Amino acid sequence: MMNREAKANFSLQFISHTNGNTTYLGGIRMALEGGCRWIQLRMKGAADSEVEPIAVESQKMCREAGATFVIDDRVEMVKRLGADGVHLGKNDMPISEARRILGDTFIIGGTANTIADVEDHWKSGADYVGCGPFRFTTTKEKLSPVLGIGGYENIVAEMNRRDIGMPVVAIGGITTDDITAIMATGVSGIAVSGTILRADDPVEKAQEIMRLLAIHERQMP
């Protein structure tokens, strides 16, 4: 369940990735230095024995920064380490089962591409949805259909019509040039990975994104 601090951290989520320039921990460290306060450790295909030491160190960095720390997929690890929560993809454990295991004190997020996905996650006990992809992205395999601005507008409008009061984070190939238009659709935040990691100065890029989100926040009625 998202507490007040987690809700405050929600607007920018960094999804860990690795490339030729940085490690998982290096990317997380730079995102935190740039002001991001929501980190998701995502290491698809890696064994738990490889993920856990990185998770322990990531959680330590997040605690020191006052950031929310979520692990992708690994429900039992989340419970064992006392992370803030878990994010579950479409092929991961069902949200209802994760909620049974974790109880009400952990955050559970789910991946969504349609209003049907969103409503299903809402009924299953999710705290938020990661909705996308906004556009094609190379950091995720087997992409669902691209949503674009119109897709988010339609999903948010339908959520309002169905009285689904759950935060939505937009994800998938988002750049700084997209942020203003995406946030204007009514989503609650954005998630990025490559936009920060591929930047010449990742810390500065994270700071730029945080500034854009702060401008949007100030302009909201």
Residue type, 29: R
3-state SS, residue 121: helix
Over 7-34, what HEC string results? Answer: HHHCCEEEECCCECCECHHHHHHHHHHC
Instruction: Measure the CA–CA gap between 47 and 58, rounded to whole angstroms.
Output: 17
pLDDT score for 112: 97
73-130 pLDDT, tens digit per residue, is 999 999 999 999 999 999 999 999 999 999 999 999 999 999 999 999 999 999 999 9
Question: What's the pLDDT band for 143 if we cut at 50, 70, 90?
Answer: confident
7-45 pLDDT, tens digit per residue, is 989 999 999 999 888 999 999 999 999 999 999 999 999
Number of neighbouring beta carbons within 10 Å of residue 23: 12
pLDDT score for 139: 65
pLDDT score for 20: 85
How high is the mean pLDDT of the chain? Answer: 96
Instruction: Measure the CA–CA gap between 15 and 75, rounded to whole angstroms.
Output: 17
pLDDT score for 140: 66
Tell the burial category of 7 from Cβ atoms under 10 Å away from its Cβ (0-12, 13-18, 19+): middle
Whole-prediction pTM: 0.96
Peptide linkage before 221 cis (omega within 30 of 0): no
Residue type, 147: L
3-state SS, residue 92: coil
178-219 pLDDT, tens digit per residue, is 999 999 999 999 999 999 999 999 999 999 999 999 999 998
Reference 69, options 33, 38, 28, 110; nearest CA is 38
Give 111's Cβ-side CA count (13 Å radius).
Answer: 20
pLDDT score for 144: 86
Instruction: Measure the CA–CA gap between 193 and 174, rounded to whole angstroms.
Output: 9
Say if residue 141's pLDDT is above 90: no
Calculate ∠ Cα 140-211-12, nearest 5°.
35
Question: What's the pLDDT band for 65 if we cut at 50, 70, 90?
Answer: very high
What's the CA dihedral at 107, 37, 81, 3 to 10 degrees?
Answer: -40
